[in-house]
Amino acid sequence: MESRPLHIPAYAKINLSLEVIGRRDDGYHDVVTILQTVNLADTLTLSVADELVVTCDDPELQGQDNIVWTAATRLAERAGISPHARIHVSKRIPVAAGLGGGSADAASALLGLNRLWGLGLAVSNLVSIAAELGSDVPFLITGGTALGAGRGDEITVLPDLPSIDVLVVAPSETIPAKTPSLYRALTPVDFSDGRHTKRLTEGLTTHPLTTNFCRNTFERPARAIFPGLADVWDRVAAAAQHPPRLSGAGPALFCLPSSENERTRVAAALQGTGATAYLVRTLSPAADAGIDPTV
């Protein structure tokens, strides 16, 4: 068991492509997506305690309202122990933005608690628990570049992208139950057969990647459903070199490749909207600093 506090990064993701194929018999949808981690990150600080305590600098994500609590209790159940840890989540990834912040926190909690509690579970065991927590969580156990299928949780590792600057724009407003709302808003014209994702997958290592080649099924309904998103989208499109694309179920947008000059231009164009522009980089597992134990 680790006696020192652990500081763990929880990296955000973007969806380079996301296509919805159709509705499944279990009520979910089949999707195909290319997931990519970026170095925008929350930080989890874990230490041994007599009971489970989860705190966050976002007051709405304390205790059992944080997915980290669920991740900790599921891992403890699998290990046959009582959950005993103090976990603090320092948020930097915008909440409910389509950047996988909560999923990243859950994945990092599983990784950190596996070490803190001295469980020695294999990554495959952690991935099976992660699949119970959300479709993005299995991917975020390892990160990098991957193809997601099924509900998005059937992960196939792809060759790592080179480090690329990415502009991420997070609007200030989201909506409750956004993902179900977006799925309900899809019409037959929005569904596809995955050909765009297949083409992008085949070209990742042979052609320079730009958002001209990226796709997201949810873009049409997202512009209509999220308050102010169409205005933010149009401002980014006018100021950026490459077209903005929706990440996940939104409302975050991204453009790539990018630069600090472009971030400055876009930030100026977004004044008065409440949206925030970040310049981040794509991240491979080998570049992940991982768990940092400190006294």
Kindly report the average pLDDT of the chain as a whole number: 93
Both 51 and 144 in one domain: the answer is yes
73-82 pLDDT, tens digit each: 999 999 999 9
Q: CA–CA separation, 241 vs 76, rounded Å?
A: 48
What's the confidence (pLDDT) of residue 207? 84
Residue 286 pLDDT class (50, 70, 90 cuts): low
Residue 287 pLDDT class (50, 70, 90 cuts): low
Q: What is the DSSP string of 167-209?
A: EEEE-S---TTHHHHHHHH--GGG---SHHHHHHHHHTTTS--
CATH number of the domain where residue 129 is located: 3.30.230.10
In the chain, the amino acid numbered 194 is G
Phi-psi region of 284 (alpha: psi -120 to 50; beta: other; left: phi over 0): beta
252-265 pLDDT, tens digit each: 999 999 999 999 99
The answer on pLDDT for 211 being more than 80 is yes
Last residue of a domain, one of 126, 145, 160: 160
102-134 pLDDT, tens digit each: 999 999 999 999 999 999 999 999 999 999 999
Which residue of the set 42, 105, 136, 160 is catalytic? Answer: 136
- Residue 27, class by beta-carbon neighbours within 10 Å (0-12 exposed, 13-18 middle, 19+ buried)? exposed
Last residue of a domain, one of 144, 160, 176: 160
Both 131 and 261 in one domain: the answer is no
Quote the percentage of the chain above a pLDDT of 70: 95
Residue 13: active-site member: yes
CA atoms within 13 A on the CB side of 263: 16
61 within a domain of the structure (yes/no): yes
Residue 18 pLDDT class (50, 70, 90 cuts): very high
Q: Give the C-alpha distances (Å, rounded to integers) separating 73 from 52, 64, 135, 145.
A: 8, 10, 18, 28
Range of the domain at 80: 6-160
What's the confidence (pLDDT) of residue 2? 62
Number of domains in the chain: 2
Q: CA–CA separation, 203 vs 207, rounded Å?
A: 6
Token pair in block for residue 2: 């680790």
Q: Residue 240: which of 285, 210, 206, 218 has the closest Cα?
A: 210
* SS3 (DSSP) at 132: coil
291 within a domain of the structure (yes/no): no
Residue 50: active-site member: no
Both 243 and 173 in one domain: the answer is yes
What's the confidence (pLDDT) of residue 295? 28
CATH number of the domain where residue 189 is located: 3.30.70.890
Last residue of a domain, one of 100, 132, 160: 160
Helix, strand, coil percent values for the chain (each to nearest 5):
35, 25, 40
Both 67 and 187 in one domain: the answer is no
